[in-house]
Amino acid sequence: MADNEFPGWHGTTIIGVRKGGKVVVAGDGQVSLGQTVIKGTARKVRRLSPGGFDVVAGFAGSTADAFTLLERLEAKLEATPGQLSRASVELAKDWRTDKYLQKLEAMLIVTDGRDLYVITGAGDVLEPEHDVAAIGSGGNFALAAARGLMNSDLDAEGVAREAMAIAADICVYTNGNLTVEEISG
C-alpha cells in the first residue's frame, strides 16, 4: 500500500479553557485507524514537571510525533525554567527549521496556568482569543461550544467537559472518555 493510500491515524479533540484563575486541558481517548476505533482510552493530556515547573500539555495527531515534541518541550523548559513562552517559541522554531522535526504531524496545546498556547509545525505559537483553544478533528466543534459556554456559571472544567461532550456527539473521531488536567496560574 502506498503512503498516500494508507488510511492514517485519525482525529482527536483537545481543548484548553482558562476561567476563574484556572486552566483546564481536556482530551478524548479515541484513537482511530481509518474508520476503525483502535483504542478508546488513550491519554492525550499529560502533566510535565521539568525542574519542578508544572506544565499541562495536550496533543492531537500522531502519537509518536507528539511524544517527540513533548520530550523536546521538556528539554526547552529545563533550559528556560518558568518561561513557557520562550520554551514554546524555541520549540516552534526548531520544529519549523529542523528537517527531522518538519516531518512530525501533531499539534500541541500547552499551559502553565498563566499562559495558554497552541504550538504548530508551521512555526506558530498562538495565544488564543476568548481564553479557549482547541485542536484536532473535533476541535472546531469544541471551540464553538466552549466559547458559547464561557459566560455561563460553569467553571473552567465544566466548560471543557460540556464542550467535549458536544464535540463527541458531532465528531466521529472523538469519544466521551476524557482525560482532564487542571492547573492554576
Beta strands in the chain (DSSP E): 9-10, 13-19, 22-27, 31-33, 36-39, 45-48, 55-61, 106-111, 116-119, 125-126, 132-136, 179-184
Q: For 47-105, what is each residue's pLDDT tens digit?
A: 998 877 899 999 998 888 888 889 999 999 999 989 999 999 999 998 888 877 778 88
Topology of the domain comprising 3-184:
Glutamine Phosphoribosylpyrophosphate, subunit 1, domain 1 (3.60.20)
The CA distance from 43 to 58, in Å, is: 9
User: What global pTM score does this model have?
Assistant: 0.91
174 labelled ligand-binding = yes
Catalytic residues: 12
Angle, to 10 degrees, between the axis of helix 156-170 and the axis of helix 139-149? 140
106 labelled ligand-binding = no
168 labelled ligand-binding = yes
Angle, to 10 degrees, between the axis of helix 84-97 and the axis of helix 63-79? 130
DSSP 175: -
Partners of 16 in beta bridges: 25, 133
Residue 103 vs residue 165, higher pLDDT:
165
